[in-house]
A and B are shown apart, each in its own frame.
Chain A
Amino acid sequence: MKEKSARNIIITPATNSRKPRRGNKPGKRNRYAIFFLAPYIAGVLVFWILPILFTFAISFTKWDGFNAMQFIGIENYKHLFLEDGRFFKSLFNTVVIMGLSIPVTLVLALIFAYILSGKALYAKRFLQLGVFLPYIMTPVAVGIIFALLFDQHYGFVNRILMYLHIIQSPLPWLGNEWLARITLAIALIWMYCGYQMILLMSGMSMISEDVYDAARIDGANTRQVFFRITLPLLKGVLVFVVITSLIGGFQLFDEPLLLFNSSLSGKFPIGGPDNAALTMSLFFYNESYTNFNFGYGAAISYMMFVVIALISFVSMKIMDRGDRL
């Protein structure tokens, strides 16, 4: 028995080294692969690659979607950079809103993650769920709810604040430039805190208990353990969270749109009072689909791409350098 199988094993490689037979698997397998991949590749090409190239092309034209395109060279970009204050305003708004919301979200998420991953905490699961639930709400609902809550005259927030005598007269949360940004930031913090908390908790769970034991023995108190051990070991997760928040922040669209433009919010320009909450995405959307300036919109979208790419690149460099220290 043994000798027979040994013979078989010796023979087979020799077969492979000869010319492939017709029914040989590797050749046919390649052909089939193309069929299976074709639909997906076609999809990627048509819905992804081509639009990207097309957008770039129309950014040099004036086009309203109905009539023919007119080639106008870099006029769109000129108007965007030099004449239209809204580009820098939207950039500023986006940055400000991210600056208001991202750090607070992160700190809150850290606090929650720390508290809620401790051991015997009563109703821990319930609290975790509560903090996470806002993340799965649709932005439409969130926008509408916040518009109602922060309404100047009938909103719950003003009523509570006045009842507690923190303010004397109702604040125009949605009517004032900076208050509008703060309201939007609060909505964003509320929505995303839970998600970041979950990520941080999973990061924390990867730190082995032994390290904490060693730290206790070495004499670290709770604060020292948190800042000198937990936090540095969470670095990977933190970097991820910050970068994805930055990228997501630049694409902010749903929440400001629905906070200021739902049927419940009263009349505002698309970006809220004085366009204070006009994010870059909203700006793009308004120009393209409301004003039918597709060429201009295309130019805006390419500038957005440049900005996002730059910021991602820079922030990754900064985070990496920290690593090497």
Chain B
Amino acid sequence: MANISLKNIRKVYPPDVTAVDGFNLEIEDRRFVVLVGPSGCGKTTVLRMIAGLEEITGGELRIGGQLMNEVPPKNRDIAMVFQNYALYPHMTVFKNMSFSLELRKVPKAEIKRRVEEAARILDIERLLHRKPKALSGGQRQRVALGRAMVREPAVFLLDEPLSNLDAKLRASMRTELIKLHRRLETTFVYVTHDQTEAMTMGELIVVMKDGFIQQIDTPQNLYDRPCNAFVAGFIGNPQMNFMNGVLERDERGFHMAFAKDRIYFPKERQGGWMEAYSGKPVKLGVRPEDIYDDEASLDKYGDAVINAHVEVSELMGSEVYLYLEREGMNLTARVGPGTTSRTGDKVKVAIDMGKAHLFDPENENALSDRQGKDD
């Protein structure tokens, strides 16, 4: 069994740099888990601790139930794919892939079998006698994968493997990796800073910031119920719109101010918990895809209509991004391709306040009713 258990994992670089703290995570066998977060959040450090390339300062790491803190990398039954591929420049592709097996004194015939099979799966058979410098980025990536695959490990660790590829290749490799995961039926622990990769590939996503876990959840839950403003802003593209304001109340109900307009919360959401924040400053979060400029929506969400003018409009082909501005406040809206709004226009947009998020302006935690699972 290759479930991975991290309990209270801590990493401190002397004298006083704490890279990771209070890290608790249970990964079941065969899962595809993604660690995601901005640069420097500690995700790679965690991966390297699982691999055994970094010493674990505190806490317990278990793989398959065995305590692995002091076990050297080669005995942990893991394989790693690096961001820069880390291929051995002086060895052929074949040797790169067979190196670890040679070190273990696996019989030659078996080595040949495994390498050729992995090469076949990854479609690099005709490259076996080339050296890394004669390969393209994508080919090198696949060799790195192959090198990991032949070891038939219990866990695959992948450190931003797609970062160095161009956008098109990245997209196709994403699907390749997902298919590979299904085929190999092995645990994948994947580190990335790209939330798109995380959302598309991960079964379970761990969002990290500054060495701490922010939220562990499925992609959909992270999207629907971020537990704090950071997660909310990190997931979703374009990024969620944030507005600081005061939660006010009048005869029509709770609302917030956007320039001279008021946007009201729908009746279903107005509840007791808002009393606690009445009159207090809050942070409002609205996803661009929840802002509409078409007639039907203006009607539907009539309680939350604002006027703004379009500073910039980006035509993406399948949709249009409108960058709105009013009296110093900015808003990004993602609308359908049929929109007539263009740069310079004064428009009216409606916000689906039912999907809006509220956060405490100080600790940034999501306020109740839209909270995600506890971390």
Q: Report the separation of the CA atoms of residues A233 and B86 in the bound assembly, to the nearest whole angstrom.
A: 13
A269 within 8 A of B: no
Interface size class of A (residues with CB under 8 A): 10 to 19
Q: Which residue of A lies closest to B104 (CB)?
A: A219
CB nearest neighbor in A for B78: A217
Assess the A217–B84 pair: CB atoms within 8 A. Answer: no
B86 touches A208 (CB 8 A): yes
**B42-68, CB < 8 A from A:** 51-53
Given contacts A219-B100, A219-B103, A220-B103, contact A214 B90 (CB under 8 A): no
- Interface pair A229/B86, CB less than 8 Å apart: no
Interface status of A73 (Cβ within 8 A of chain B):
no
Query: Which parts of A209-240 form the interface with B (CB within 8 Å)?
Result: 210-211, 213-220, 224, 228-229, 232-233, 235
Residues of A within 8 A of B84 (CB): 208, 210
Flag if B103 contacts A213 (CB, 8 Å).
no
Contact A213 B90 (CB under 8 A): no
B80 at the interface (CB under 8 A from A): yes
Q: Give Cα A232–Cα B90 distance, bound, in whole angstroms.
A: 7
Q: Which residues of B contact A208 (CB under 8 A)?
A: 84, 86
B267 to chain A, nearest CB (A): 57
CB closest residue in chain B, given A235? B90
Please tell me if B79 contacts chain A, counting CB pairs below 8 Å. yes
* Alpha-carbon distance A229/B96, docked complex (angstroms): 11
Q: Does B89 contact A (CB under 8 A)?
A: yes
Residues on B with beta carbons closer than 8 Å to the beta carbon of A224:
103
* Interface residue from B51, B85, B88, B90 paired with A217 (Cβ < 8 Å): B51
Q: Can you name the residue of chain B whose Cβ is closest to the Cβ of A211?
A: B86
| A213 interface neighbour in B79, B86, B89, Cβ under 8 Å | B86
Cβ–Cβ < 8 Å partners of B73 in chain A: 216-217, 219
Give CA–CA (A210, B147) in the complex, Å: 14
Contact B79 A217 (CB under 8 A): yes
Q: Is the CB of A218 within 8 A of B90?
A: no
With an 8 A cutoff between CB atoms, is B74 at the interface?
yes
Task: Provide the bound-state CA to CA distance between A229 and B84, in Å.
Answer: 17
In the complex, A211 Cα to B90 Cα: how many Å? 11
CA distance A214 to B159 in the complex (A): 12
Contact A217 B80 (CB under 8 A): yes
Cβ-based interface call for B99 (8 A): yes
Query: Which B residues touch A214, using CB under 8 A?
Result: 80, 82, 86-88, 147
Q: A208-B84, A229-B88, A232-B90 are in contact. Are A218 and B103 (CB under 8 A)?
A: yes
Contact with A along B88-127 (1 / 0, CB 8 A): 1110000000011001100000000000000000000000
Tell me the smallest distance from the CB of B96 to a CB of chain A, in Å. 9
Write the chain A residue with the least CB distance to B157.
Answer: A217
B13 to chain A, nearest CB (A): 12
Cβ contacts B320-346/A at 8 Å (1 or 0 each): 000000000000000000000000000
Expressed in whole angstroms, the Cα–Cα distance for A305 and B236 within the complex equals 72
Cβ of A211 and Cβ of B88 under 8 Å apart?
yes
Q: Out of A210, A220, A229, which one reaches B82, CB within 8 Å?
A: A210
Residues of chain A contacted by B88 (CB below 8 angstroms): 211, 214-215, 229
Residues in B neighbouring A215, C-beta threshold 8 A:
88, 99
Residues of A within 8 A of B80 (CB): 213-214, 217
Rounded to whole angstroms, the CA-CA distance of A304 and B86 in the bound complex is 46
Closest to B85 in A: A210
CA distance A219 to B99 in the complex (A): 9
CB-based contact B53/A216 at 8 Å: yes
List chain B residues, Cβ under 8 A from A233: 89-90
What string of 1s and 0s marks CB contacts (under 8 Å) between B193-210 and chain A? 000000000000000000
Besides the known contacts A213-B82, A235-B90, 14 further A-B residue pairs in the complex with CB atoms under 8 A apart: A208-B84, A210-B86, A211-B88, A213-B53, A214-B86, A214-B88, A215-B99, A216-B53, A217-B73, A217-B74, A218-B103, A219-B73, A219-B103, A220-B74
Instruction: Offer 18 A-B interface pairs, CB within 8 angstroms, sorted by A.
Output: A208-B86, A210-B86, A211-B86, A213-B82, A214-B88, A216-B53, A216-B74, A217-B52, A217-B53, A217-B79, A217-B80, A218-B74, A218-B100, A220-B74, A224-B103, A228-B99, A229-B88, A233-B90
Q: 9 smallest A-B Cβ distances: which pairs?
A: A219-B74, A218-B100, A210-B86, A214-B86, A232-B90, A219-B103, A217-B73, A216-B73, A217-B80
